[in-house]
Chain A
Amino acid sequence: MKELLEGSRAVAEAVKLCKPGVISAYPITPQTHIVEELAQIVANAELDAQFVNVESEHSAASVVLGGEAAGVRSYTASSSQGLLLMGEVIFNIAGMRLPVVLTDANRSISAPINIWNDQQDSIALRDAGWIQLYAENNQESVDFHFIAYRLGEDKNIMLPVMVCMDGFILTHGLEVVDMPEQEKVDKFLPAYKPLYKLDTAEPMSLGLLAGPDYYMETRYAIQETMDKVLDMLPKISAEFKGVFGRDYKDLLVEEYMTKDAEKVIVAMGSVCGTIKEVIDEQRAKGKKVGLLKIISFRPFPYERVYEALKNVPKVAVLDKSVSLGAHAPIATEIKTAFCGKKKMPKVISSFVAGLGGRDITLESVREVLRRLNQREVCLDFIDLKPELLKEQYGE
Chain B
Amino acid sequence: MENNILLKPGHTACAGCGQAIAAKLVIEAAGANTIVVNNTGCLEVFTTAFPETAWNVPWIHSLFENAAAVASGVESALKYLGKKETTNVIAQAGDGGTADIGLQALSGMLERGHDILYVCYDNEAYMNTGVQRSGLTPFDTNTTTSPIGTKSTGNQRPKKPMPEIANAHGIPYVATASVAFIPDLQRKVKKAIATKGPKYMQIHVPCPLGWRHEPGATVTVARMAVETGLYPLFEYENGVLISKRQIAPKPVQEYLKLQGRFKHLLNNPDQLKLVQEVADNNIKKYGLKAEAQQQV
Bound together, the chains give a CA A24 to CA B70 distance in angstroms of 11
Q: Map CB proximity to A onto B57-70 as digits: 1 under 8 Å, 0 otherwise.
A: 11111110110111
Q: Which residues of A contact B75 (CB under 8 A)?
A: 66
Q: Taking the nearest CB of chain B, how far is it from the CB of A247, in angstroms?
A: 35
Q: Taking the nearest CB of chain B, how far is it from the CB of A102, in angstroms?
A: 14
- On whether the beta carbons of B73 and A200 are closer than 8 Å, the reply is no
Q: Which residues of A contact B66 (CB under 8 A)?
A: 58-59, 62, 65, 89
Residue of A nearest to B86 (CB): A200
- On whether the beta carbons of B50 and A208 are closer than 8 Å, the reply is yes
- On whether the beta carbons of A65 and B70 are closer than 8 Å, the reply is yes
- On whether the beta carbons of A21 and B35 are closer than 8 Å, the reply is no
Residue of B nearest to A69 (CB): B60
Q: Map CB proximity to A onto B101-112 as digits: 1 under 8 Å, 0 otherwise.
A: 000110110011
Known A66-B74, A203-B56, A214-B51: A58·B80 in contact at CB below 8 Å: no
Query: B44 at the A/B interface (Cβ < 8 Å)?
Result: yes
Query: A379 at the A/B interface (Cβ < 8 Å)?
Result: no
Known A21-B80, A200-B33, A205-B55: A92·B73 in contact at CB below 8 Å: no
- Which residues 1-57 of B sit at the A interface, judged by CB distance below 8 A? 32-35, 37, 44-45, 48-51, 53, 55-57
Q: Which residues of A contact B105 (CB under 8 A)?
A: 55-56, 58-59, 62
Residue of B nearest to A59 (CB): B69
Query: A345 at the A/B interface (Cβ < 8 Å)?
Result: no
Residue of A nearest to B107 (CB): A55
Query: B78 at the A/B interface (Cβ < 8 Å)?
Result: yes
- On whether the beta carbons of A22 and B80 are closer than 8 Å, the reply is yes
Query: A284 at the A/B interface (Cβ < 8 Å)?
Result: no
Q: Taking the nearest CB of chain B, how far is it from the CB of A85, in angstroms?
A: 11
Q: Which residues of A contact B51 (CB under 8 A)?
A: 208, 214
Residue of A nearest to B88 (CB): A200
Query: B77 at the A/B interface (Cβ < 8 Å)?
Result: yes
Interface size on B, residues (CB 8 A): 44
- On whether the beta carbons of A203 and B58 are closer than 8 Å, the reply is yes
- On whether the beta carbons of A200 and B57 are closer than 8 Å, the reply is yes
Query: A128 at the A/B interface (Cβ < 8 Å)?
Result: no
Q: Map CB proximity to B onto A190-211 as digits: 1 under 8 Å, 0 otherwise.
A: 0000000011101111111111
Q: Which residues of B contact A89 (CB under 8 A)?
A: 62-63, 66
Query: A67 at the A/B interface (Cβ < 8 Å)?
Result: yes
Bound together, the chains give a CA A309 to CA B112 distance in angstroms of 53
Q: Which residues of B contact A22 (CB under 8 A)?
A: 73, 76-77, 80
Q: Map CB proximity to B onto A48-81 as digits: 1 under 8 Å, 0 otherwise.
A: 1110111110110011111111111010000000
Bound together, the chains give a CA A211 to CA B48 distance in angstroms of 11
Query: A88 at the A/B interface (Cβ < 8 Å)?
Result: yes
- Which residues 174-223 of A sit at the B interface, judged by CB distance below 8 A? 198-200, 202-211, 214
- On whether the beta carbons of B87 and A50 are closer than 8 Å, the reply is no
A–B Cβ pairs within 8 angstroms, 19 of them: A22-B73, A22-B76, A50-B79, A59-B72, A59-B104, A62-B70, A62-B72, A66-B70, A68-B77, A69-B77, A74-B73, A88-B63, A89-B66, A92-B62, A202-B58, A208-B49, A209-B44, A209-B45, A211-B49
